């Protein structure tokens, strides 16, 4: 096509404005993939795609939203934890390898994994010598202690994880190093020398290494700690440091001249520079990724629904995509506190009558939604065991006969009415509520969809027990992603009855099983991972027996590999590309 003809075509298109989507898609047809590795669907799922050690280049990254916080003490998104490793080093981190190896914790700032003593009540880590901040000063154990302690100040860092203040043996009334200045905290963390840090817990906790991998253990020098303003300029210990940070708009990372590969066997540090744009229009972001203008959608949640048609039907574009699963389950809580769901048989009727294919379709289908779930634990979490206590036949569309049988046993042979809550801003949850409304109506269960604003969903509505009881909300659309791929990280906030508050705010809406609470305590105290995993499975089965959670889909996302990226592979720990390893051609 000549330049003149193209101009003509553009003019016509601009006038009619009708062929935009087709044009967006056409852009990819002109591209010839020149990657030396074979581009195919899921090429980076379990192996490295386009391996290379070439350094240099600027990686262009975009985020459709804002970063929750660049401060390692407060950030709480999976992608942000994945990315934070470029500018910070936590005690431990996930292995930078494809496949199941990615689920293995390895030392980063620490020299080795934690050494438990006192039956898992005390954990000791040795810190590498010679790790430097961007200003050239050496990282000391006291900096890690300060970093962890500051993160417990929830008036300053309200959004971060709350594990450390919950488990460390901190002095009574301790409010963090700013407000409780001078308070002796050796009962919680000791630093006997510059390269040793010892954590003392209130009670044994076998999975403390998982805590040690969180960005909250990335060192922060007390002298340069600016509290809530630290997010504006984090002092780097990783291979990159902040050159510019325009909050809510963009930030840039450049090489940290003080970083040394000698102290860091994990990081490749290939690109010279990272340019990150924030709050980019999600649809436009997909178009830019597909056209090659961007290398990476950093959130790693997959392309938008509107972009699926630009990827899946086109073999050459689909060959640039991967479809990983994550440690997220979309599910529906069934609340025994709302009659007649206080009768287990009525809950079982819902389990049998639900159309599982409809559930999957509501969440985007096989590729963008995920696989049909029959358990709580997603397959990527150790302890996952495939079972189905409520089999509904091969078509997965529900077993009406068994559902009616359960209803009869429940004393509601003609069905009953109840409400189903969902987040009004989420079209997928609305579609699910309508799908369940349809499939459950086959056995006489009448659902009334009740949309609520997502900001107050758990605090005031679906997660507020008095509201749920008064307004008879028997079902609540729900979802949970583990903080890390482990039974504790996944289950503790959604099946432990002790996290439920009468004032609302908990994600556990329906599970109040004392036996499950005891099993959780037992697993938490177990330091041997091989012995912990069967307990997670037992909890999963016990919750499913009570029919208080209707599993929906084990989430998957459709990721697109940016053009020109090297060393691309999905790190199973994050369910997205490993950001430490990426390079540019």
Partner 1 sequence: MITYILRRVLAAVLLLFIVSVVTFSIFFIVPRLAGATPETLATRYVGRAATAETVKIRAESLGLYDPVVVQYGNWAKGIFAGAEYDYGSGVEQCPPPCFGYSFVTNQPVWPELKDRIPVTVSLAIGASLIWLVGGVATGVLSALRRGSVFDRATMGIALAGVSLPIFFTGLASLAIFSYWLGWTAPGGSYTDFTANPAKWAYALILPWITLAFLYAAGYARLTRAGMLDTMGEDYVRTARAKGLAERTVIVKHGLRGALTPIITIFGLDVGLLLGGAVLTEKTFSLPGVGKYAIDAIVNNDLPKVMGVTMLAAFFIVFANLVVDLLYAVVDPRVRLS
Residues near partner 1 (CB under 8 A) = 6, 10, 13-15, 17, 20-21, 23-24, 26-27, 62, 66, 69, 76, 150, 153-162, 165-166, 176, 178-179, 225-232, 246-249, 277, 279-281, 283-285, 287-288, 291, 293, 455-456, 458-460, 464, 483, 493, 499, 501, 503-505, 507
User: What's the closest the beta carbon of residue 543 comes to partner 1, in angstroms?
Assistant: 18
Question: Which residue lies nearer to partner 1 by CB, 439 or 492?
Answer: 492
Return the closest-CA partner of residue 144 out of 213, 80, 231. Answer: 213
Tokens standing for 437?
Answer: 């409304």
d(CA 216, CA 90): 7
Query: Least separation, in Å, of the C-beta of 277 and partner 1?
Result: 5
**502 or 528: CB nearest partner 1:** 502
Map residue 262 onto helix, strand or coil.
helix
Closer of 452 and 577 to partner 1 (Cβ): 452
Closest distance of CB 462 from partner 1, Å: 13
Q: Measured from the CB atom, is 73 or 239 closer to partner 1? A: 73
Taking the complex as a whole, the smallest distance from the CB of residue 69 to partner 1 amounts, in Å, to 7
Please state the φ and ψ torsions of residue 335, each to the nearest 5 degrees.
-90, 115
Closest distance of CB 426 from partner 1, Å: 12
C-beta of residue 500 within 8 angstroms of C-beta of residue 508: yes
The b/e string for 73-112 (b: 16+ C-beta within 10 A; e otherwise) is bbbbbbbbbbbbbbbbbbbbbbbbbbeeebbebbbbbbee
For every residue of 466-485, which 3-state class applies, written as one string? HHHHHCCCCEEEEEEECCCC
- Residues 196, 173: Cα–Cα separation, whole Å: 26
Distance in Å, CB of 53 to partner 1, minimum: 30
Min dist. Cβ of residue 145 to partner 1 (A): 16
User: Looking at beta carbons only, is 154 or 542 nearer to partner 1?
Assistant: 154
Q: Which is nearer to partner 1, 29 or 414 (CB)?
A: 29
The 3-state DSSP class for residue 342 equals coil
DSSP bridge partners of 251: 245, 276
Distance of closest approach, residue 425 Cβ to partner 1, in angstroms: 8
Q: Which residue number, 128 or 501, has a Cβ lying nearer to partner 1? A: 501
Considering beta carbons, is residue 74 or 355 the nearer one to partner 1?
74
State both tokens at 25.
């898609």
Task: For residue 269, give both structure tokens.
Answer: 């540090």
DSSP 320: T
Among candidates 173, 175, 174, 164, which has minimal Cα distance to 200? Answer: 164
Q: Which residues contact 459 (CB under 8 A, 6 or more apart)?
A: 504, 505
In whole angstroms, what separates CA 315 from the centre of its chain? Answer: 29
Between 276 and 381, CB nearer to partner 1: 276
Helical pair 344-353 and 427-441, crossing angle rounded to 10 deg: 110
Question: Rounded to the nearest whole angstrom, what is the least distance from the CB of residue 21 to partner 1 in the complex?
Answer: 7
Measure the CA–CA gap between 275 and 502, rounded to whole angstroms: 45
């Amino acid at each position: 096509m000549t330049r003149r003809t193209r101009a003509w075509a553009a003019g016509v298109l601009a006038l009619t404005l009708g062929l935009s989507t087709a044009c967006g898609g056409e852009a990819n047809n002109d591209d010839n993939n020149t990657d030396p590795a074979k581009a195919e669907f899921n090429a980076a799922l379990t192996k490295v795609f386009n391996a290379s050690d070439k350094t240099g280049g600027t990686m262009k990254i975009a985020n459709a939203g804002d970063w929750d916080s660049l401060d390692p003490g407060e950030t709480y998104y999976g992608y942000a934890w994945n990315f934070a490793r470029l500018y910070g080093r936590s005690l431990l981190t996930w292995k930078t390898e494809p496949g199941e190896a990615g689920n293995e914790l390895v030392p980063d700032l620490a020299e080795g994994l934690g050494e438990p003593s006192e039956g898992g009540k005390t954990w000791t880590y040795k810190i590498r010598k010679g790790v430097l901040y961007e200003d050239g000063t050496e990282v000391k154990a006291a900096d890690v202690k300060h970093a962890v302690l500051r993160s417990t100040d929830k008036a300053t860092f309200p959004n971060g994880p709350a594990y450390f203040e919950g488990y460390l043996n901190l002095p009574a009334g301790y409010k963090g190093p700013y407000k409780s200045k001078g308070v002796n905290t050796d009962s919680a963390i000791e630093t006997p020398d510059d390269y040793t840090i010892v954590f003392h817990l209130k009670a044994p906790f076998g999975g403390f290494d998982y805590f040690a991998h969180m960005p909250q253990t990335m060192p922060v020098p007390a002298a340069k700690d600016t509290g809530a303003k630290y997010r504006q300029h984090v002092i780097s210990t990783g291979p990159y440091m902040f050159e510019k940070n325009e909050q809510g708009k963009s930030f840039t990372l450049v090489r940290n001249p003080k970083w040394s590969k000698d102290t860091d066997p994990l990081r490749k540090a290939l690109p010279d520079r990272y340019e990150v744009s924030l709050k980019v229009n999600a649809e436009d972001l997909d178009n830019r990724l597909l056209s090659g203008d961007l290398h990476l959608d950093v959130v790693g949640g997959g392309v938008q629904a509107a972009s699926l048609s630009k990827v899946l039907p086109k073999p050459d574009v689909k060959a640039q995509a991967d479809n990983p699963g994550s440690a997220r389950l979309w599910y529906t809580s069934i609340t025994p506190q709302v009659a007649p769901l206080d009768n287990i048989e009525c809950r079982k009727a819902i389990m049998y009558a639900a159309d599982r294919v409809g559930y999957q379709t509501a969440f985007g289908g096989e590729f963008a939604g995920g696989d049909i779930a029959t358990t709580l634990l997603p397959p990527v979490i150790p302890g996952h065991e495939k079972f189905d206590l409520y089999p509904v036949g091969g078509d997965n569309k529900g077993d009406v006969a068994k559902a009616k049988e359960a209803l009869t046993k429940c004393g509601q042979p003609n069905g009953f009415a109840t409400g189903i809550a969902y987040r009004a801003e989420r079209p997928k949850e609305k579609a699910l509520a309508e799908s369940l409304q349809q499939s459950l109506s086959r056995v006489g269960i009448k659902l009334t969809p009740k949309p609520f604003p997502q900001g107050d969903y758990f605090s005031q509505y679906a997660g507020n027990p008095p509201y749920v009881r008064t307004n008879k909300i028997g079902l609540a659309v729900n979802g949970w992603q583990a903080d890390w791929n482990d039974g504790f990280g996944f289950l503790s906030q959604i099946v432990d009855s002790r996290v439920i508050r009468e004032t609302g705010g908990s994600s556990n809406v329906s599970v109040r099983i004392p036996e499950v609470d005891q099993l959780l305590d037992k697993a938490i105290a177990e330091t041997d991972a091989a012995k912990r995993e069967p307990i997670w499975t037992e909890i999963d089965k016990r919750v499913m027996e009570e029919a208080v959670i209707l599993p929906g889909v084990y989430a998957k996302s459709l990721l697109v590999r940016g053009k020109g990226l090297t060393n691309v592979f999905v790190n199973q720990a994050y369910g997205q590309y490993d950001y430490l390893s990426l390079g540019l051609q």
